[in-house]
Structures are given as C-alpha cells and as structure tokens.
Amino acid sequence: MLIIGVLVIIAAIVMFVIGLNWLGIILAIVGAAIILFSGFKVVRPIERGVIERFGKYLRTKDSGLTWIIPSFEKMYRVNITEQMVDVPPQMVITKDKLNAQVDAVVYYKIKDVKASIYNVDDHRKQLTSLARTTLRAVIGNMTLTDANEKRSDINEKVEVVLDKETNSYGVEVLRVEIQKIEPPPDVQDSMNKVVKAEQEKIAARDTATATETKADGEKRAEIKKAEGVKMGLILSAEGKAEAIKKVAEADADRIKIVNESAQKYFVGNAQVLRKLEATEESLKHNAKFLVDTNKVQTIVTDASGVTPVIQKKTTKT
C-alpha cells in the first residue's frame, strides 16, 4: 500500500513537470491519502503489537486500531494465546541402563511481549531444545518402571525447570505432558510377562479369598443352625419342666384344699375320708380286687366306714 502511494506521488510530480498541473494535483492528493491510510493497523484481541521507530522499541499496542508513521515506524504482532510445542521423540537412557523413546508436548503462553522478541532469537525453538534437554535429565535419574508409573512427577519436574529457565524469554510454561515412554520391544515383552504373572497371582489370591469366605460363611451358618437346634431343645425341656411344675403345683393346691376341707368338715374322720377316696378311685378305674370271702363284710364295712356290730352269742340256760 505504501509503495503504491509513493508511485502515485512520483506520477504527480511528473505531471507537474510536463505541465499537467491539475492532473498532478489530483495524483498528489490520491498518493497522500494512500500513504496516510497505509499507516492504520488493526491488532486483534489475541495479539499484541510491538511498534518500532527506526529499529528502536517505541511502545506495545493492545488490541484495536492504531496508526503508525509509514516508512518510519514498523509494528510486529505477537500471539498471546496458549500455544503448544511438540517435542520430537528422542531416545533416553534410564537409570537402569535401558533405552526408552520419549515423546512430550509443552503448553505455554507469552506473558511479556517485549521480552519474547528482544530477549531470545526464537522462543519456540529455544523452548523445544530446552524441553528435550530437561526430559533427558529427569528421566535419566529414574528407572524405566518408575518413569512409566510416575509420569505426573516427570511432568511436574520438567514444568518447574522450563518455567524457571524461560522466565527471561517472557514465556510462561503452563504444563508439560508426556505422550509416551516406549522401551525396546524385547524389554516390553518382558514387562508384559511380568504384568501378566502379577495379574494371575492377584486373580488366584482373590479366588482363594472368595473360597475361604464362602467356607467361613457355611461354617457360621452350620454353627447358627446347631445353636438354634440346641436352643430349641433347651426351650422345649424348659417348657416341659415348667408344665410338670405347674401340674405338681396344681396337685399340691388340690391336696391342700382337700386337706383343709377335711380338717374343717371331717374333723376326727381323716382316716375314713382317705378310705372313701381310695374306694372312689378304685371304682373309677374299674379296679378288681381278690378278696377273701370270709373278710368281705369287714372290708366293705371298713371301706364304707361302718363298724360292724358284733353279735353276742346267747347261751342257753
């Protein structure tokens, strides 16, 4: 745009030289307008503009419309959004002398626009190189197993180192992510076998635990069942004992009542009452007695409580 404006101005001068003043004036106005408008610059919200005048830093412009002096000032746009650097895969020797291919990505953003331009030649290139070196240093102090199990620790350590080292770049390291740590194929096969054996061991232990738990449950069930049977027998025996006790108490009460009645109404005739009860009980159960015929009268009269009258023999005079 600036070049076009300059060319138009030159054409206007030529018009003045050859005598076409009116055309020269028009071209001069058009050229000046083109040069003027070429100084307007737009900075997007995701950018910041660094303005230089004759190669010297002048100011930093936020988002919006700004104007610079054409040919005298120049503006550089810097992206301030979160950006990603893909660290190329590299072979790293671990603490246990094994080779592992490591791949990672680094997320960062520009926090100081001026420093990112003037303090480092190419902050992305510098950040990538520094990330590769830091990864080798951190993983080199770990075994391959630890490196695979503690990736979050590696991310944190690398992030701290990069954030500290790139502070002068005007760069803020947001996070580091390890994408993969791959050992050689033969080592990977060995590790897979170890993992498989460990899983089988865990499965066998779980099966044994389940079997033991089942057996323990069955044992407790049988014990509970036996305890229930025992308690049932105890309760049954206690019930029978209680019933016998109640019957005995009822008989005792009956005997007590009978004795009290006998004492009250049959004073002096307790023996006679007992004989009547025995006779009643025998007849109730259809008891049979073998009795001497010569003593029938005595037994019956004794049982009935009648004292036989002894007849005196009369003698003839």
Q: What is the pLDDT of residue 296?
A: 46
User: Which position has the higher pLDDT, 26 or 134?
Assistant: 134
For position 315, what pLDDT does the model report? 47
Q: Which residues contact 116 (CB under 8 A, 6 or more apart)?
A: 78, 110, 123, 169, 170, 171
Q: Which residue has the tokens 């005048």?
A: 53
Find where tokens 């066998």 sit: 204
Three-state SS at 224: helix
The per-residue pLDDT of the chain, averaged, comes to 77
Confidence check: pLDDT of 108 > 90 = yes
Per-residue tokens: 123: 């902050």
pTM given for the model: 0.54
Percent of the chain with pLDDT over 90: 11
Q: If pLDDT is split at 50, 70 and 90, which confidence band does 245 have?
A: confident
* CA–CA gap between residue 157 and residue 173 (Å, rounded): 12
pLDDT at 120 over 50: yes
Ranges 75-79, 231-235, 293-297: which has the least confidence: 293-297
**pLDDT value at residue 84:** 92
Other beta carbons within 10 Å of 171 = 27
Q: What is the mean pLDDT of residues 142-157?
A: 87
> Highest mean pLDDT: which of 26-40, 127-141, 180-194?
127-141
Return the SS3 of 273: helix
Distance CA 176, CA 145 (A): 20
> Residues 38, 39, 40, CA angle at the centre, nearest 5°?
95
